[in-house]
Each structure stands twice: as C-alpha cells, then as structure tokens.
Chains A and B, each alone.
Chain A
Amino acid sequence: MTAEEIIKPENKVYAKPDLLNDNHMHYCPGCSHGVVHRLIAEIVEEMGIADKTIGIAPVGCAVFAYKYVDIDWIEAAHGRAPAIATAVKRLNPSRMVFTYQGDGDLAAIGTCETIHAANRGENIAIIFINNGIYGMTGGQMAPTTLEGMKTSTTPYGRRIDLNGYPLKISDLLVQLDGTCYVTRQAVHTPAAVRKTKAAIKQAFLNSMEGRGTSLVEIVSTCNSGWKMSPVESNKWMEENMFAKYPLGDLKNTVKK
C-alpha cells in the first residue's frame, strides 16, 4: 500500500485542530508555545466550549495568542492577567476563563496578582510557561532562571549571592487554600505532551465547575534564548530544569 492510498479522510488519526488558525506562528522553530497553543485548541474543541471560553493573553512571546487560537481573548497589561481573569469570571460565572502566562509575566511582575488570585480561590485556570528566561525581550534573567545559567544579563551565570534563588512559584501556590489543582508538566516528548493535555483538561474542568484556582506549570524550552538547537534544548531541559522543577502533581484536592 502506498502513502497516497493511505492518505484518505476516513483513515485520518491526527490533524491540527480547527480552532488553531492557519496563520503562520511567529514563534521560533521548536518553541514549546506552539505545542501548548495546539493543546488548548484541541481541548476546547473536544470539550465543545469554544463559545464559552475566554483566554487572557500575557505580555511576552505569547502576546499574539489571539491570532492563533480562535476563541475570545483579552490582552492584559504585563503580569495583570489573573486580575483581569478574576473580573471576567466573576461577571460571567458560566464561562471557562483561563490565563496564559510566561515566567517573566507570572513570576516576576505579576507575582502579586498571581498569589492573590490564587489565595482568593478564583475559579480560573492558569497556564504557566516556565522557560527560565525572558524570551521576547532578548534572553534576560528571570526569577526562575537556574543557578549558574547564562543569560544576557548574567553573562557569567546566575549568582545566588547577587541574584537570589530561582523562584518556585508553583510550590508557593500549593500552600494557599484557594488552589485546588497545582501540577508541573512538560511538552518535550509525546508521552509528556499527552500528560500535559490531561492536566490542562483537568484545570479547565475545575474552572467550569467552580472548584478553585488551578495552575498548570509547563517547564518549557527557549532555544533562541538558551542559544541551542530545539533538540539540544530539550535535552538540556531534561538534565537541568527537571532537577530544580521536578514534574508531577503538586496538589490535587479534586481527586479523593
């Protein structure tokens, strides 16, 4: 059987979801953002909530998320996505509201909004892309940058005595009573992508059913910022990032 004979609509097992637009994404080749965008589009499509979903886009590389996933979006000021999501969810309790934020947005300028939204137990889902660097602005040090990691503002590596320790924001949010689901995942292998999909789906369900704040941290790569190829940066992430940010569920009060 040749490939042409197999490529027929009735044999299709996987294709890009319709909610992911045909626009060419501006992300660098191999960027984890693309995978997470596709997962969000897939999940929203599977759950049939495209007309009920409102996403809050961050400032950072994912600032143009509204161009790629065909749902309603609001663009937030830097770090303020959880505050806007709070308002949207309180005014429209029947809607599924999620924020999509990077580590510079959520863990640096938006730490206050994140912690207080989670502490109030707002019924929102937070997708947190943690690549340990400010990707869009040119690879500066972020709060989540690992010790010894070279960035454009720490050219000799991050020093603890000068720059402090990497911020594990998910572990902080576990302590708060308002969060119902905190998990840390990655998208570097097919198996990891499937786990991440299940985690995001759980977070979206929690938002729909009003169980509290869910946080899905996705440990990601920034191959341009890290100055590696996409394949090398996945390997580097496995060896270095996972030691500081181990994968798995940190808190789940839903599943008893």
Chain B
Amino acid sequence: MAKVKGAVKINQERCKGCDLCVVACPVDVLMLQPKEVNDRGYHYAFAHNHEACIGCASCATVCPDGCIEVYRVTIK
C-alpha cells in the first residue's frame, strides 16, 4: 500500500503561538516552543515529531496568520 508522508514549514517570525494548529493536528506533530521566543516574543510552533506528519494540512487550515506551508509525498 502506498504510504503518505508529509512535512510542514512554519514561518516562525509570523507565528503568534496561539496553539490552534497544535490542537488541530490529528497525529500530534506540532507543539509550541517551551522556552524559545521569536522577535515579537511569542512562543512559536514547531514540528517536534516530524516523522508522524501525514500532510493533511489541518494545521494550515486553522492557522489565523497563514504561517504554515504543507508538503506531501506518496511513497509507493
């Protein structure tokens, strides 16, 4: 069976750390930086478990600031 692998690219300077993408992700790929902040002082989102990503784009769909780009490949 073909396997779907995904990846996300997050614009960390644009992210405001609202946590909505973290909640929307069905496979628990994202989390907010526990300590690091961006230039505006927000704890930005990052992929802590990139292996699990399926490229469903749920995170990008709910992101209020359009920070997330989603990529997907099908491995045959």
The answer for the CA separation of A205 and B64 in the assembled complex, in Å, is 24
Measured between beta carbons, the chain A residues less than 8 angstroms from B57 are: 13-14, 190
Measured between beta carbons, the chain A residues less than 8 angstroms from B5 are: 1, 6
A29 is contacted by which of B42, B55, B58, B70 (Cβ under 8 Å)?
B42
| B38 CB, nearest partner CB in chain A, Å | 11
Q: Is the interface on chain B under 10, 10 to 19, 20 to 34, or 35 or more residues?
A: 35 or more
Contact yes or no, A15 B69, CB < 8 A? yes
| B5 CB, nearest partner CB in chain A, Å | 5
Contact yes or no, A14 B70, CB < 8 A? yes
Contact yes or no, A13 B55, CB < 8 A? yes
Most buried by B among A6, A15, A27, A230: A6
Measured between beta carbons, the chain A residues less than 8 angstroms from B67 are: 16
The answer for the CA separation of A153 and B28 in the assembled complex, in Å, is 40
Q: Is the interface on chain A under 10, 10 to 19, 20 to 34, or 35 or more residues?
A: 35 or more
The answer for the CA separation of A229 and B18 in the assembled complex, in Å, is 8
Contact yes or no, B19 A229, CB < 8 A? yes
With CB as the reference atom, state the residue of chain B lying closest to A194.
Answer: B61
Interface assignment of B47: CB less than 8 Å from any CB of chain A: yes
Contact yes or no, B20 A30, CB < 8 A? yes
Contact yes or no, B62 A29, CB < 8 A? no
The answer for the CA separation of A109 and B19 in the assembled complex, in Å, is 34
Interface flags, A63-107, vs B, CB<8A=1, else 0 = 000000000000000000000000000000000000000000000
The answer for the CA separation of A28 and B20 in the assembled complex, in Å, is 13
The answer for the CA separation of A6 and B72 in the assembled complex, in Å, is 7
Interface assignment of A160: CB less than 8 Å from any CB of chain B: no
Contact yes or no, A13 B66, CB < 8 A? no
Interface assignment of B7: CB less than 8 Å from any CB of chain A: yes
Contact yes or no, B71 A11, CB < 8 A? yes
Interface flags, B28-65, vs A, CB<8A=1, else 0 = 00000000000010100001001001010110111111
Measured between beta carbons, the chain B residues less than 8 angstroms from A11 are: 7, 71-73
Contact yes or no, B62 A190, CB < 8 A? yes
Contact yes or no, B7 A7, CB < 8 A? yes
Contact yes or no, A32 B71, CB < 8 A? no
Contact yes or no, A231 B50, CB < 8 A? no
| B58 CB, nearest partner CB in chain A, Å | 4
| B37 CB, nearest partner CB in chain A, Å | 13
Contact yes or no, B69 A20, CB < 8 A? no
The answer for the CA separation of A192 and B58 in the assembled complex, in Å, is 11
| B43 CB, nearest partner CB in chain A, Å | 10
Lowest 5 A-B CB distances belong to which pairs?
A34-B64, A30-B18, A16-B66, A29-B16, A6-B7
The contact sample of 8 A-B pairs, CB cut-off 8 A, is A7-B9, A14-B70, A16-B69, A22-B14, A30-B20, A33-B64, A35-B63, A193-B62
